[in-house]
Amino acid sequence: DCEKQNYCPTLIENGYLMREWEWEEHDTYIGEYRCYPGFELRNPKIFSTSKQDYEEKYGWGACGEDRDRNPDPENMPRCVQPGSPEPCNMPEKILNGYKVEEIKNELYDMVDQASYKCNSGYMMVKTWKGDIGWCRHDGTFELPYCMAPKEYYTIEFELVPGFSKMENAGRVRARHVYADGSTGNWYAGCDDHFNGPAAGAICRSLGFRHGKQITADKKMKPISDLPFGMTNVYCYHDDTLMMSPSCNGDDYGQFGWPLCAPEEQIAVQCSTKCGRLTLASTWWSEVEKCHAP
């Protein structure tokens, strides 16, 4: 019988071992791997605690100290098709609701979405995919959630272009829409801390896919007689609607935030198509990020 020479496998699926060494501090052998051409390497989570950790330990796998035992797959890197999603376990429950059906990504043959339903007596605050939630590459989820009718509302947006000829662009006005269909008064958002993902959230509410913050031109004058209602409007992810838990909006005039001039009304431009595309190579980043042209 031939004695196994390496502590780490010489091959992983679609990849190979470059070198191995003993990491005495952690009582394990480390293998450093690379992928064959046409595949993308993903670090195991134990070597992905931060961007710096990911970069410093790129391709590392923890193989243990027993030549005769295969390492835990969770501790080994993977070589996958570029842009493929990370496997995820969609939550069984959402706020006042529950999972109905898991949805498989047919391209990559793995579950990365699920549909949800509210408990009896509650109304759903939907994602831009309706009752469907999904997992992101950074390990977070975008999920619908459910509220009691007396607490329920969504936000309706309109673009007011003025005399500007910019396509699908304008100052933004918003109002709350309640469970019984009644609406609140129109208000503007102050652009303090406003960002691109929040512009995308507004545009998705209007039926577009993407959006960006713009500086209004001279013909896109502030909407007259429109009070400010929100400030510090921003989102952490560029795949949401404004009611998402990953978005923020503070009531205008609260917490001592500075007052805003009419020229600071939020302005956006929306787009259905994806403009410049940025591909990310690390699991904590979005695989593709669209920037409206």
Q: Using the predicted structure, report yes or no on whether residue 54 has a pLDDT greater than 80.
A: yes
What distance in Å separates the CA atoms of residue 118 and residue 100, rounded to the nearest whole number? 10
pLDDT digit string, tens, across residues 134-181: 998 777 899 999 999 999 999 999 999 999 999 999 999 999 999 999
Q: What is the mean pLDDT of residues 181-197?
A: 97
β-pairing, 210-213 vs 267-271, is: antiparallel
pLDDT, position 287: 31
d(CA 280, CA 275): 16
* pLDDT score of 1 more than 70: no
pLDDT tier at 279, thresholds 50, 70, 90: very low
Instruction: Mean pLDDT check: name the lowest of 27-31, 71-75, 97-101, 275-279.
Output: 275-279
- For residue 124, which of 105, 97, 99 has the smallest C-alpha distance? 97
Mean pLDDT, residues 247-258: 84
Most confident of 68-77, 109-118, 183-192: 183-192
Task: Give tens-digit pLDDT for 18-40.
Answer: 999 999 988 999 999 999 999 99
Give me the DSSP letters along 226-237: --EEEEEEEESS
- Alpha-carbon distance of 78 to 75, in angstroms, equals 10
Task: Determine the average pLDDT of the residues in 237-247.
Answer: 96
pLDDT at residue 107, rounded to an integer: 80
pTM for the whole thing? 0.72
- pLDDT of 273: 60
216: how many CB neighbours lie within 10 A of its CB? 22
Checking if the pLDDT of 120 tops 60, the result is yes
